[in-house]
Amino acid sequence: MTESTLSQKSVLAIAVSAPVGGPYDYLAGPAMGATRGSLVMVPFGGRQLPGIVMGKAKGDLPMAKLRTVAVMVNLPRLPAPMVQFIERVSAWTMAPLGSVVKMVLSQPAAFGCPPKLKRYRLAPPPDEARLTVSRQLVLDYLGEPERRDGGDLAAGIIAASGVSQSVLGRMEAVGLLQVELVSADLLPPLPKHNLAHVVLNDDQQHAADHLRATIGQGFRVNLLDGVTGSGKTEVYFEAVEASIKAGQQVLILLPEIALSAAWRARFSARFGVPPLEWHSDILPGQKRKSWRFVLEGRASVVVGARSALFLPFSKLGLIVVDEEHEHAFKQEEQVIYQARDMAVLLGQLNKIPVVLASATPSLESWVNAGKTGMLQRYEYLSLPKRVHDAELPSIQIINLRETPPERGRWLAPPLVNAIDLRLKAGEQSLLYLNRRGYAPLTLCAACGTKLTCPNCDSWMVAHRLAGRMRCHHCGHESRPSNNCKACGSKDQMQACGPGVERLAEEVLWRFPEVRFALLSSDTVGTPKAAETFIQSVIDGEVDIIIGTQMAAKGHHFPNLTLVGVVDADLGLAGGDLRAAERTFQMLSQVAGRAGRESRPGEAMLQTLEPQNPVLASLISGDRDLFLEQEAAARLAAGMPPFGRLASVIISSPYEDRLHDTMRQLSSTHPNFDLVQILGPAIAPIGFLRGKHRARLLIRADKSVNIQYILEHWLGEIKLPSSVRMQIDIDPYSFL
């Protein structure tokens, strides 16, 4: 073998877990036998970072300049579809390859050997060993049939026998106990697939049979479209069971894990054990274990937020995206991606089925299901009826121009009367307003100055329960004051508009004896808090729920019969491409919380625009007509899902450098057929988190490779070190 051939074979291309583009060349060293997907530790700058072997290097760099792989990680390599997924996500989002690798290799602590624990077993007792009462208790416990061969860990022995750790240590020393070191990472229990099922109705059974039949039959996407309360979860559980039986792993994505206590309870009842969870509230030690179990194929079912999509599944057999329409699946920071779309890509690469479930499908999924007469890419399954013969809630419009609330109040008389009737009947009500805190705006009555964030072009929101003023964009906080800093006036600062805390104040004024509770991220921020809250509602300890969008996230409150939407127009204004669709989805979902059992439900929507097409569609109950109209408008404008959009956001702490970059982008932007470049222009929020911001919007025909255009245009731009550029393919935010 020549030196040249040897060099080629001993240099690896490694994608490093850092926000850098492309793989780097390293001498193989201890990773001489590594193949694509192998995990390594490499020197990078002054640190050692995890990395993924992407293949052999081109060998076009001098050997003397290359550093050597530090460690070949003793773990299974990533499967080929996962490595492809990393490359495809990077290419689609135009994020650095290393940033995507960093999401996948998020638990470098899992690379080492798991901590060890001592497992104690009985040993032949030595003749001279003295048997005290404590020692005999241990021997009796370990001598029971279920432990005679396998023994037990110290914690189990101590709990059962009441002895101390020192007793076990002395018994080991004198030879009464044998000890072996075992992994401290206890495997998650396997879900059972022979437990009693709920009885499915005909529509559910048809959909369940179809989904079961897809397991092991390659890639396909199924849109499970079921009205609120139709039992979609029980239907896709059938596919989960079939996948478990086949020895495959299942990934279930939920938009709001903190609010999934009821979902977890249903899963545990169905499969006998809880699923493995993956979200930001999981402790680091548990994440380390879970990541390793997923890679080793020892975790059967994982339920998680969008980041769970980047876990290193070794034998993935099914992906479920529940509430697929939810905008929470769009990641807006660092690597910007739409988890629903990336889940479909992951399913395609793994050649497995994907289930998208929703009561209000996204327009993209609805179009892909062939509902506009275009090419059908997704299979369509419908659940048009609620289970248990429950009826969908009736929806009533309250015209605030005809029946306004009293001055300084926010609940119109018809809604107040409806709440009173529910209270007398012993039923629960939900008041929905998608505004956290007490008031969205505070201004000076003397000079009109609005209290804004020092770091952003946004109002400070009053949070009276916490005694703070908060910016909901950057998190800046300050103490409230009644004195105006602009004009010096005393006691002139006034709260304008309602948040959920202000609604609670009105509820207490109108119904002094009522038991109410706030449901927002300020009051229910963790899975444990959510579980406690939901159980208190189910147990009848709450008469009125006052909630933000968290209240629309699939909850099942059996005694809830009235939903009051305080401001149904909120969200319809502005230039957001999906404003109408998002409002329709949110109002449909929150209305669907009412009447999910035998008692009929009602939703009352307060509005100043009763003729708005969104509200008219809700009243008529003709969701498909709304989607058809929305699709026609998007098609005429060449907007997604019929066209392509990309957003370029530039930001800098220095306003002059931002404007210099804007001029450079404006003077160099290319001209292409079927492509329109709008901007650059100052962003609607022109100052955010201490940085000045500008935006460009690129609209293109569906056939255009928008990433290619952006790469060849923006790749030539030399940005100052103080200017940051971010690309968002298919943007959801236009701020």
Rg (CA), the chain: 30
Nearest CA to 324 out of 352, 364, 351, 353 is that of: 364
pLDDT tens for residues 507-563?
999 999 999 999 998 888 777 888 888 889 989 999 999 999 888 877 788 899 999
Tokens of 485: 């800093």
CA distances from 386 to 66, 99, 360, 647 (A): 64, 43, 14, 40
Residue the block writes with tokens 């998002």: 582
What does CATH list as the number for 202-388?
A: 3.40.50.300
Same fold, 202-388 and 390-435+498-632: yes
Residues 97-113: what's their mean pLDDT?
94
- Over pLDDT 90: what percentage of the chain? 74
The confidence score (pLDDT) of residue 1 equals 36
Tokens of 558: 């059996």
Mean pLDDT check: name the lowest of 155-169, 479-493, 522-536, 680-694. Answer: 522-536
pTM (whole model) above 0.95: no
CA distances from 387 to 233, 296, 462, 617, 726 (A): 12, 39, 42, 23, 46
Residue the block writes with tokens 């911001």: 693
Mean pLDDT check: name the lowest of 148-152, 566-570, 636-640. Answer: 148-152
Tokens of 191: 């879900």
Q: Is the pLDDT of residue 500 over 70?
A: yes
**261-271 and 527-538 helices cross at what angle (nearest 10)?**
80
CATH architecture observed for domain 643-729: 2-Layer Sandwich (3.30)
Residues 639-660: what's their mean pLDDT?
95
Domain ranges of the chain: 3-79, 116-183, 202-388, 390-435+498-632, 643-729
Q: Is the pLDDT of residue 8 over 70?
A: no
- Secondary structure of 142-210 as H, E, C letters: HCCHHHCCCCEEHHHHHHHHCCCHHHHHHHHHCCCEEEEEEECCCCCCCCCCCCCCCCCCHHHHHHHHH
Q: Which residues pair with 354 in a beta bridge?
A: 221, 319
The confidence score (pLDDT) of residue 669 equals 86
Residues 6+ apart with CB under 8 A from 324: 223, 340, 356, 357, 358, 361, 362, 365
Count the helix, strand and coil residues of the chain and give each as a percent rounded to the nearest 5. Answer: 35, 25, 40
At the topology level, CATH places domain 390-435+498-632 in Rossmann fold (3.40.50)
- Secondary structure of 436-476 as H, E, C letters: CCCECEEEECCCCCECECCCCCCECEEECCCCEEECCCCCC
The confidence score (pLDDT) of residue 6 equals 39
The confidence score (pLDDT) of residue 116 equals 85
Q: pLDDT-derived band of residue 391, with 50, 70 and 90 as boundaries?
A: confident
- Average pLDDT of the chain, as a whole number: 91
Whether 298 contacts 333, CB under 8 Å? no
Q: Is the pLDDT of residue 3 over 70?
A: no
CATH architecture observed for domain 3-79: 3-Layer(aba) Sandwich (3.40)
Distance CA 26, CA 291 (A): 26
